[in-house]
Amino acid sequence: MTIYVDDMQLSARVGPVEGVWSHLLSDLPGEAGQRELVAFAERLGMEARWIQNEGTATEHFDLREPMRQRALELGATPITYGRAVAALTRAKRAANPAGG
């Protein structure tokens, strides 16, 4: 069980917030992954209601660059956006087919 932070680092405006964005995600499928992910996000000061794609293999939190750096400081594992994230998503789907 690992929490990952990708290196997407896309400059964008999300609602009223402009920043450089990446993703925080768990490698565990299903409810265990969601619990792990939400617990880590809350340690960063994020709210559980900010989760994206809840209940699916692509469940994640969007986070801006300062929070990404803090996640790394707290022990999140860096992962490459694109193929590495896709491989993690495929593995989660295979482990929990009902979880989307």
Using a pLDDT cut of 70, give the percent of the chain over it: 97
- pLDDT at residue 100 is higher than 70: no
The yes-or-no verdict on residue 7 having pLDDT over 70 is yes
The per-residue pLDDT for 68 is 97
Strand partners of residue 19: 12
Give the model confidence (pLDDT) of 53-90 as tens digits: 999 999 999 999 999 999 999 999 999 999 999 999 99
pTM for this entry? 0.91
Could you give the percent of the chain with pLDDT greater than 90?
91
